[in-house]
Amino acid sequence: MNDADVAGHIEALVGEEHRLLASAAGHAPSEDQHQRLEQVRVELDRYWDLLRQRRAREEFGLDPDWVGLRDEQTVERFEQ
């Protein structure tokens, strides 16, 4: 997966997030919508992290393909 693929996946997830939020506008989201929204948000965090890792390696002349998607527990423990 290259940077363009990662960015494309992020864009698709952002689109899904917006659709989920729009479908719940004016009322509380259903349990299924809420769960999917949480899944999307975690996946977004993971893919943004992957893109940052890839770009950092590229910046220092290292192979960006060496990094991979980190697990949910690792990414979700990062401090904002």
Mean pLDDT, rounded, of the chain? 93
User: Does residue 1 contact residue 18 with C-beta atoms inside 8 Å?
Assistant: no
Query: 67 and 59 in contact (C-beta within 8 Å)?
Result: no
Distance CA 31, CA 33 (A): 5
- pLDDT band per the 50, 70, 90 thresholds, residue 50: very high
What pLDDT is recorded for position 28?
82
For residue 13, pLDDT beyond 90: yes
pLDDT at 79 over 80: no
Residue 44 makes CB contacts below 8 A (sequence gap 6+) with: 10, 13, 14, 17
